Each structure stands twice: as C-alpha cells, then as structure tokens.
A and B are shown apart, each in its own frame.
Chain A
Amino acid sequence: MNGGAQVLRRCALAALLALAALLALAGCSEGRDAAEPVAGAGRTANDAREWLDRIASAHAHADEALAAGQPDRARTFLNAGLAREVPAEIAGEHARALRQDLWYRLSAIGLALEPSQALREADQGLALGRHDDLFSANLLVARGRALQALGRDTEAASSYHEALQIDERLLNAVLGAGAGSQLDGGP
C-alpha cells in the first residue's frame, strides 16, 4: 500500500465535503444571528456548531500531527472527536457519516501501527450502518487492508469486493440519470 500521508490525505476527502456543508451551515447561522436573529436559533444551534467545530478541529489537528510524523497524536485527536456527544440537531445520517469518516481515518492511521486495532476500528465504523455511499465503501476498504495485513487474504478480498460493488452502484447512479452536475456552479 502507499505511504500513509498520501493515503490519509485522500481518505479524508469524502467526509470533508460533508464537513464543509455542515460547518458552512453553522457559519451562516452565526453570521445571521449577529445581524438578524432567527427564531429558534439559540443554544441548540450553538451546540451543533460547537460539535462541528470540534470535529473539524479533530481533523485539522490530526493532519498537523501526521505531517509532524506523530500518528499516535493524530489518533488522539480523532478519538477525541469521536468521544464528543452528537447534539440532537445534527441529522442522524450526517452524524453517522462524519463519525464513520473519523473511524476510517483512525483505521487508516492505525494500520501501520497495529492491524488488529485497525480492523476493530473499521468494524466499529461499519457498525454505525452500512449504506451505498462512500463512507461505507471507504470503511470496507480499510477493513480489507487490515485483514490483508493480518494475512487473512480471503476475507480481505471479500471486503474489497463489497466496496467495489458499492462503487459500481454509485457509478450506475452517476451514469444512469445523466443529470448535469449541480455542484459546479455557485451564486
């Protein structure tokens, strides 16, 4: 497998877009609160914002620790992110996705340190729910890597194949409707 830094940079991409969305929503709410208070905005919004900030901070600090060659420290930050209680305002699927990405990064970092731990972390992420999305696919790849590192090649191939099948369904969705990208443009 390729080097850790490069792998980790790529592995974080899926949830980072999600983070961008959630953090942006929080940021906008905050901005509007200052100018024109919105009914319903209050402590709960602040809780959500704080949680999102903590998750973003966990990723950022993990990035820095990895860049400094400190994977254990990076794991500490990511675990701290997972330890935060999810506010009720965060949609369940969003929380699941962001937490799965934290598990994915933990597993990816842990692979070089302790494959059996990496396997447990991938499984813990998958225990949050398997869906036809990139978060589940990434965790299945992480699981496959850990299994491969443990010499459990048949199981590793099976995990890789599960991830591949998710990607196939995603590709079908992309090619099936042929709708134009809604994401290229902005206001």
Chain B
Amino acid sequence: MKNLLLTLTLSLAALPVLSAHAFAADDLPPARAAEPDAADDLPPPRMSTRKPRTVEASAAESAATLDPTDDLPPPSAKKSYARGVKPTLKYGVDDLLLELGGLPDATEADTYSTLRAKAYVLWQPSRDWELRAGARVDGAMQRGGGADFTDLSADYTDTYVRYRSSDTRLTLGAQTIVWGRADEIPLADRVSRADLTRFVLDDLPDRRRAALAARWEQTLGDYKLDAVWLPVFNAAELPDASSVWSPINLATGEIIGIAPSPAVAALVKNAAISEDEHGSGGGAVRLTKTGGAIDYGLTLARTRQSQPYYQIGGTPFAPMLTGVHPFNNFAGADLELESNGITWRMELGYTDAIPVTLPTAVTITAPSLDWVGGMEFFPGGADTRINLQLVAQSLQTDKTVLQLTEYYGTNGSIETSFGQGRWSAGLRFFGGFNVKNLYLNPEISYSGWEPLSVYAGYHYFNGEDRTLAGFQEDHSMAVIGMRGQF
C-alpha cells in the first residue's frame, strides 16, 4: 500500500509536465530567429500637443512616485482633466494640383492644362474663437485649336470668424458648406457654391467654392440644427467662355442640358451672355441626428442655386443669354444606416420651381421630385471600396420642354489600394438608364513620394443630346498630373 501511494504521488507530481509535453509539444512553434531591428531613426516625438502645465506636472509626478512593483493602478481621477485648447496657428497648402490633359477628339483644343493651389492660415487663440483666411490661384491653359486661351485668377477660400460656446457654433464669412449624404450629387446640397471650371473632372469637394454665409450650428444631444443664411448671392464659378468645359459651347452653339437645334445654335452664337447675381442667396435649415442605428436628416431651403439657368431674351437682332438663379423652395429627407457590412444612404428631395425652357424659348417653372439611393461596401472586408448609387429625377410637367423631364441612372465609384497603400486605382462613373449618358473616369495614382502623389487617368464622355456626357462627348480627355498637400 505504501508503494502504491508512493507511485500515485510520483505520478501526480509528474502529471503537469508529462501532460504538457504529451498535449502540445508538437504544436509549439519553433523559436523565431531574431527579427532585424529597424534602426531607431525616428524623428523626435511630438511628446505633447501643448506646453506642460502645473496640473500635468503633478499628475506626472504622482505617476513617477508609484512603486514600480505595485501592480495595482491608482484610483480613477475624480474630475475631468480637460486642459483647455492650446492657442494654435496653423498654415499650409491644402491643395496643389498640376495637370496636363490631351483631348484627342475635340475640335476646339488639343490640350487643356490646369494649375490649382490653395493656401490657408488658421489662428485659434482660445477655445471660443477661430479665425481662418484662405486664398487660391487657378490657372488654365487651352491650346491647339481655334479656342486657345490662358486664364489665371485668384479667389478666396474659406475665410471666416468662428465663435463656439458649449454646443453652439457660429461662423461668419466665406465658407464651403456641402450638405447631404449621397456621394457626388447630394440632394440636400442647397447652400454651396459650385465650381464649374473643370466640369465633373474633380471630386465633389473640389467642385465647390467658398460662399459668403452666416452659419449657426446647435447641437442638442444626438441632434444638430444647422441654419445658414446667404446674405449675398454668389453664382457658380464658370470657366472661360472659350473653355471646353464651358456650359455654353460657342463653337457648336449648344447649351448644356438643352436639346440642340439650328435655331438655338444661331441664337447662342450671336447672343450676348451675362449673369444675374444681384441680391441675397436665401437661407436654409437642416436638422440631423447621428448615433444609434440610423442617422437621418431633414432639410428645408429657400435658396438660389449657383448653377446658372440660361434664359433666352433680347431681340432677334440682339439676342441675350442671361444666367439666372431664381429662388426655389426645397424640402428633403435623408437617412443612412449600416446592415450586414453595407452602408445604405438615401435622399429624397422636392423642389418647387425648376426653370425649364419651352420650344418657343419661353421660360416656365416646374416642380421636381428627386431621389438618390446608394450602397457602400468593401468586398471581402478588404481594401476595395465600392459605392453604387441609383438616381431618379422627375420634372412634374406635362408640357414639352427642351430639357429632359425624366432621368434614371446610376453613378458611383470603385477604389482600391495596393503596395502598402502606395498605389491606388479607381473608377468614377455615371450612366443613364432611360437615356445614354456615360461618363467613365479610371485613374491610377502613386503616393509613395509624400506629400505628393502622381496620377494618370482618362475622362470618357458619351451620351445623347441634353445629357451631361452628351454635351461633352467630344471632350474625352487623357490626363497626367500631380496632387499634394503640405
């Protein structure tokens, strides 16, 4: 019995070792070879975003005096350690673009080159106040046809004074405010000023300019009320009249969105073109809720749209085309939710008075009902992003007009990156279902030379009359360029 007990004791003593070996020894990975350690050549760290203060010094001191053998952390702080906003002065170039484009099919030009540079300075002396000033230089050069031109212009970018207190933020000055949820064509985008100098070649943020506005943003829990008043109306920035991206083609006598005809062409070619920019731009309010299962928004606006509607006037001997921007009322609702790896976005909008043109060249207005629905997802949960949107636009009129009264189509983008994010490839597109209206913009870019990236791409347009791509059908363009921010 004594021997048996001894055997048992020995067996039990040996059990953990034996079982460990029998259990997993084969699964234990081989000891790794030492990884070559990267040289410690990092630049000095940004140890702090602010200068040390007394409170921080004492906190650091208490941490330093802790017994290093004590595994128990100290009790939580009783009050918040908000340190206040450090006065900051920031400046930089927030956009640089140099692009060379070749237009193989255009009669007006062989090349179109672009320079765009934006710089800013931002001063925040305290939490409450923020001042920003920004300026931009835009250059365009069109060569190789009958409509050569060179244009260099300067403009302001966001230049404002901002005051914030608790949940209130007030901003006065030139601002770029783009409302909405859908990509590229958000319906709630009613207070921004469009930049049409490069048609649709750029992403949405670069197709907008700062406009003079007074803005009140009030946060109420998960809700935000955003009210904007445009005391002075700012029309869209238009390209040079000779530019291939002009909404009026002086060579063919066509106006974008209007069915071409010999009568219209004769009128356009002889008309004096002007812009009506007087008065205020109106105002709008937007209520949004973010957080929880669904984000949503409601928008009410009485504003003038910055894109011109060309009204035909004058006399047969002295025709006039005037870019007008009539007030219209807009009511819209939008929502955004995520389900099964897909982000769904939707916008619905009603506009009461869209100006349209009768065959007699008389302008009337008609209400419009618009809808955009989109889905964004990452196939396989990896590095490719796909955003697909459906678009429906319906002008509520039974009269025959020169514009399209119904449009159903799609748009979106596909983007992917590779080479540890140094390379990216993408495709932006739109296409019509009920009319041919095709735009494709494949692009590949290399961003290995930060802060600059270089890219090559193509803008392909093909469509019927009265469509965007149809209007630019001869202006498909191959581009190479460089972008940067520093």
Chain B binds chain A: no
A contacts, CB < 8 Å to B = none
